[in-house]
Amino acid sequence: MHAVRIITLGSHPRDVSLDALCRGLEDVLPVACSIEPIPLDIDHARDPSRQQYHSTQLLASLVALKSNGESRVLGITPYDLFIPVLTFVFGQAQLNNRAALFSTFRLHNEFYGMPHAPALLAERCLKEGLHELGHTFGLRHCLELPCVMNSSTYVEDIDLKPADFCLPCREHLRLVC
Amino acid sequence: MTAFDPSEITIMIVDDELSVRQSLEAWFQDDGYTMVTAENAAEALKRMQNQHIDIILLDIKMPGMDGLALQDRIREFNKDVIIIIITAFATVDTAVRALKAGAFDYTTKPVDPDELSLLVRNAVDRIRLQRENVALRESIDHLQYVDDIIGESPQMQKVFELVKTVAPTDSTVLILGESGTGKELIARAIHMNSTRKYFPIIPVNCGAIPESLMESELFGHEKGAFTGAQYRRKGKLEMARGGTLFLDEIGTLGLKSQVDLLRVLEDHEFHRVGGERSVKADFRLICATNVNLSEAVKSGDFREDLYYRINVFTITLPSLRERQADIPLLAKHFLEKHRTSMNRKVEAISPEAMAVLKSYDWPGNVRELVNAIERAVVINKSGTITPDDLPMQIASRPVEAHGEQTLADVERRHIESMLADNEWNISRTAEKLHIDRVTLYNKIEKYGLKRP
């Protein structure tokens, strides 16, 4: 059983229940989650010209955190993330390593001019959390559509895939977890 | 199209900004691609010297040689690599210049994740099509080879029957025969008539690979598996995925390699040298040898368990001297083939030359015949191959050295040859033999000689 520490980055994401996220992650992955009460300061990663936060720098901040015995740390932020070449990223993770993070900024339906949908937001958060944690357990993007490790560049891609792993990815997790 | 493994595609990111290199490298690593980075043109060129690159994501503005100049330099020695320009300073002029100089695509930083994924997916599709095209061309070559299997003799008819029987099964086949009898052609014929024909046949000449390199050659290796292993390399077993692995001269395989091979045949999986992940083996095995494997088993040079594994269905190829009746057919076929490929006007083989070809015992078998005909096509000037066009050891070989050694046999062969030389003109042949026509008729009757 892997201990996962969940930490908010900058501030608590709006309309997101971290407790529900923990339960969802624990249902699918062999992990035990804990929630860090105080958000991590992320001002250093802000790019004023882009009005976004540098995802790789945030990942480095998570890596630098002193471990409390957990094997994985998952950051969640309400702010929009980018890496230098790309306009945005939903999240980022260290492949086969400790840290992962994702943003709820583009997971809200309102971002796309759609009605507020809290259940859909919770589902998207769970899928992003599973996806990024999957990378930390050594999983790469999966070519199978019905797998949470399938790559998503649109929010619709996230909605299409299930909050679960395909059999080969599940088998990989069974071997490494 | 075969299953796609992203790790078979190597992407190089050339950008002077460390953060760009790092983030793009991580981004594509998540997709499973093999990644390489370079911070300037010189480093990029150096990387390309040492390893195969499929796609380059190239920044234009770099200190020293800029991206466009680097693209020009790369195009001088590599027309296949796909170059995608990614720049923060886009102008119509640079875009047009880059695309005219052969860039696959052009985009500006920051790029939308979906656009970048689509660009690379398109590039990968093109690479897959290129690879498929090469594989198909090779298949066509293989089909042409299969056309070279010719024979009307009963011995070859039996071989064809065996090939027809075993090809559609997935059974391991052992092909026996002297050197030059066409064992690889038979292996290809089996492959081309099997359900695996749309996948490659990978030949490995076990005798040509030193034992120390055999493991890496067969199983491949991971990057850093040993000194000099600068990048991951597929082995022949992996290259034969879905198709056929043809192990020629299997009798020369070292004992350690025999153990390794046996394990793969039993477990249907293997590990690359230095690798932890097991790779599934999916190939049909065809082996060939010109040595007596059962003797090698007795002497301890060949493992008994492996011998029984590969000796499931055996095809023995006759030597050319055992099927002399096929020589004219083969000779005419190879004449046609070489005449066409060399664009030479050599139309025929003279009866004298054909008689020489028929009377020779061909220790090098069909391969020697092919070479003899090729040589004759090269040096011939008259348009008809004569004995003078044939290699010395064939043309000058005394007739009595062939077949039976009795005086009657020698006489029969000589009369047959003289008749052929004189186009069965009885008077002229009798005159040259210094005998009268009646005697010649008697001898023709005695030996049962017939005008062809």
CB-nearest to B27 from A83, A88, A143 is: A83
What are the residue numbers of the active site of A?
132
- Sequence-ordered list of residues with C-beta below 8 angstroms from that of B274, at least 6 positions apart, any chain: B221, B222, B223, B224, B225, B226, B229
pLDDT surpassing 60 at residue A164 = yes
Give the helix ranges, DSSP H, for B303-406.
Answer: 304-310, 327-342, 351-359, 365-379, 392-395
Note whether B110 contacts A87, CB cutoff 8 Å: yes
Residue of B23, B107, B119 to mutate, interface with A, max A Cβ within 10 Å: B23
Give the CA diameter of chain A.
44
Is residue B394 within 8 A of residue B372, CB to CB? The reply is yes
Q: CB of B276 within 8 Å of any CB in chain A?
A: no
Report how far residue B248's alpha carbon sits from residue B281's, in angstroms, rounded to the nearest whole number.
19
The distance of B124 to chain A (nearest Cα, Å) reads 14
In this prediction, residue B401 carries a pLDDT of 46
CB contact under 8 A, A154 and B114: yes
Confidence category of residue B77, pLDDT binned at 50, 70, 90: confident
Cα-based angle A135, A139, A140 (whole degrees, multiple of 5): 90
Q: Which helix (H) or strand (E) holds B29?
A: helix B18-29
List Cβ neighbours of B363 (8 Å cut-off, separation of 6 or more). Answer: none
User: What is this model's ipTM?
Assistant: 0.82
If you average pLDDT over residues B201-230, what whole number do you get? 84
Which chain B residues have a beta carbon less than 8 Å from that of A92?
26
The phi-psi region of residue B389 (left if phi > 0; otherwise alpha if psi is between -120 and 50; otherwise beta) is alpha
How many C-beta atoms surround the C-beta of residue B146 within 10 A? 17
Distance to chain A for B57, nearest Cα, Å? 11
| Helix or strand run (H / E) with residue B396 | none
CB contact under 8 A, A93 and B109: no
Distance CA A18, CA A50 (A): 28
pLDDT one-digit tens code per residue, A75-120 = 999 999 999 889 999 999 999 999 999 999 999 999 999 999 999 9
Q: How far, in Å, CA of B110 to CA of B116, rounded?
A: 10
Q: Model confidence over B400-412: pLDDT tens digits? A: 445 556 777 778 8
Name the residue type at position B317.
L
Query: Is B223's pLDDT higher than 50?
Result: yes
The pLDDT value given to residue B400: 46
Specify the range with the lowest mean pLDDT, choosing from A166-170, B47-51, B332-336.
B47-51
As a whole-number percent, the residues of chain B with pLDDT over 70 amount to 93
Neighbours of B357 (CB within 10 A): 24
Please state the φ and ψ torsions of residue B138, each to the nearest 5 degrees: -65, -35
In the A/B pair of chains, how many CB contacts fall below 8 A? 65
Q: Do A151 and B22 touch (CB under 8 A)?
A: no
pTM of the predicted model as reported, rounded to 2 decimal places: 0.57
Report residue B339 as tokens.
Answer: 């005449």
- B109 touching A, CB under 8 A? yes
Q: Please name the member of B20, B31, B112 whose beta carbon is closest to the beta carbon of A141.
A: B31
Residue A140 to chain B, least CA–CA distance (Å): 5
Predicted confidence at residue B396, as pLDDT, reads 67
Q: What is the 3-state secondary structure (H, E, C) of chain A?
A: CEEEEEEEECCCCCCCCHHHHHHHHHHHCCEEEEECCCCECCHHHEECCCCEEEHHHHHHHHHHCCCCCCCEEEEEECCCEECCCECCECEEECCCCCEEEEECCCCCHHHHCCCCCHHHHHHHHHHHHHHHHHHHCCCCCCCCCCCCCCCCCCHHHHHHCCCCCCHHHHHHHHHHC
By C-alpha distance, the chain B residue nearest A131 is: B30
**Tokens 């997971």, residue?**
A107
DSSP string computed for B251-268: GG--HHHHHHHHHHHHHS
Helix (H, G, I), strand (E, B), or coil: what is residue B123?
helix
For B37-66, how does the pLDDT look when each residue is reduced to its tens digit (9 = 90+)?
999 999 999 999 888 999 999 999 888 889
For tokens 């054909």, the residue is: B354
Nearest beta carbon to residue A140 from set B30, B86, B109: B30
Q: Considering only CB atoms, which chain B residues are within 8 Å of A93?
A: 30
Tokens (6 digits) for B243: 């198709």
Is the CB of B113 less than 8 angstroms away from the CB of A153?
yes
pLDDT at position B69? 93
| Tokens 């590599």, located at residue | B78
Distance from CA of B241 to the nearest CA of A (A): 20
Give the per-residue pLDDT at B2: 46
Buried b (16+ CB within 10 A) or exposed e, A23-56: ebbeebbebebeebeebbebeebeeeeeebbbbb
Q: Do A140 and B86 touch (CB under 8 A)?
A: no
Q: Searching chain B, which residue's CA lies closest to the CA of residue A132?
A: B30
Between B227 and A133, residue with greater pLDDT:
A133
Task: Check pLDDT > 70 for residue B138.
Answer: no
Average pLDDT over residues B105-121: 91
* Minimal CA separation from B24 to chain A, in Å: 7
* Range from A124-138, B215-229, B356-370 carrying the lowest mean pLDDT: B215-229
Interface test with B, best of A86, A90, A158 (most B CBs within 10 A): A86
Element (H, E) at B312: none
Query: C-alpha dihedral over B74, B76, B77, B81, to 10 degrees?
Result: 50
Q: Structure tokens of A88?
A: 């945005």
* pLDDT for res B79: 85
Going by pLDDT thresholds of 50, 70 and 90, the confidence category of residue B368 is very high
Q: At what angle do helices A55-64 and B18-29 cross, to 10 degrees?
A: 80
pLDDT value at B222 more than 90? no
Bridging pattern class, strands B82-87 and B201-205: unpaired
B32 touching A, CB under 8 A?
A: yes
- State whether residue B84 sits within 8 Å of chain A by CB: no
What is the maximal distance between C-alpha atoms in chain B?
101
pLDDT the model gives residue B1 = 41
Lowest mean pLDDT: which of A17-21, B391-395, B423-427? B391-395
Average confidence score pLDDT of chain B: 87
Handedness of CA B54, B60, B63, B69 (dihedral sign): positive
